[in-house]
Amino acid sequence: MSSPSQQPLLQVEQASMVFGGLVAVKDLSLDLRAGEILALMGPNGAGKTTTFNMIAGALIPTSGRILFEGRDITRMKPDGRCRAGVARTFQITQPFHELSVVENVMVGSMVHHTSLAETRKEALTYVEMVGLGAKAEAPAKQLSTGQRKRLELARAMATRPRLLLMDEVTGGVDQKSIPDLVALVQRLHGEGLTLIIIEHNMRVISELAHRAIFMNRGEKIAEGTPAEIAAHPDVVELYLGEAAHA
Ligand SMILES: Nc1ncnc2c1ncn2[C@@H]1O[C@H](COP(=O)(O)OP(=O)(O)OP(=O)(O)O)[C@@H](O)[C@H]1O
């Protein structure tokens, strides 16, 4: 795992998101340094996806600020954030089923090209990067869950992000495919990517993340190394205990 720099890439300052009477995220602050991998953890409804939505621009926080490379992006639209270098993947993958794998990735690389041939050429490099080269011309609907997660990563990478928000890349994937996905994320990180991952698998978190934040009911209740988080009494009570009893 390469070391992160001290330079903050992302700063979330006292961000809150209120839906009607429900406080989904409350006064959340976090700093992310360039080169870091941060894990966001917490039980269902903790506010993890809402946090991603605020960072990626799908939601504008009710209060608080979001800075990317020191620039206030709190109210910037998702496409502006994408061009600025923020990309995301979704827990439930959403490919265009009838389009081929490479065509799906072209949707991402189009941001950077006017020529279709160039768009396709660059898209193919990301298809290869995620190990789907042999499936490049296959319709996305033919892919397995693990392959769809790879396609999702290729689509996001094609926008050339500096920050990738990755929602449960190992979720729903069979156990034996997880190590290869972890290795892929490590490779992308090795190429200079900064990541926030929503992840439940403690082993994956330990292998990937420099740091973890644990949320519950919209609030950050613990922050530290994966080992510190795994040993935190509130976390054990709320989460690991729950998983152990599942
Ligand atoms: N658009 C919305 N409108 C109303 N309530 C919402 C909306 N989005 C999320 N919520 C609520 O906000 C709270 C936090 O949800 P969020 O999806 O961020 O949690 P999460 O930690 O990602 O959970 P999960 O692990 O189940 O995905 C939940 O109570 C959820 O029902």
**For residue 218, pLDDT beyond 50:** yes
Predicted complex ipTM exceeds 0.85: yes
Of 37-51, 62-76, 94-108, the one with minimum mean pLDDT is 94-108
pLDDT in tens, 127-142: 999 999 999 999 999 9
pLDDT in tens, 15-56: 999 999 999 999 999 999 999 999 999 999 999 999 999 999
Banded model confidence at residue 93, pLDDT cuts 50, 70, 90: confident
**For residue 171, pLDDT beyond 90:** no
Give the nearest ligand 1 atom to 25 CA: 14
User: Cβ(105) to ligand 1 under 6 A?
Assistant: no
Pick the more confident residue, 184 or 5: 184
What is the rounded distance in angstroms from the CA atom of residue 144 to the CA atom of residue 156?
18
- Determine the residue of 17, 26, 48, 215 to mutate for testing ligand 1's pocket, defined as the one with the most ligand atoms within 8 A of the Cβ atom: 48
Please give the biggest Cα pair distance in the chain.
55
Q: How far is the CA of 102 from the centre of ligand 1 (A)?
A: 32
**For residue 190, pLDDT beyond 50:** yes
Which string of DSSP letters, residue by residue, matches 207-233? HH-SEEEEEETTEEEEEE-HHHHHH-H
Q: How far is the CA of 45 from the centre of ligand 1 (A)?
A: 5
Q: What is the pTM of this model?
A: 0.91
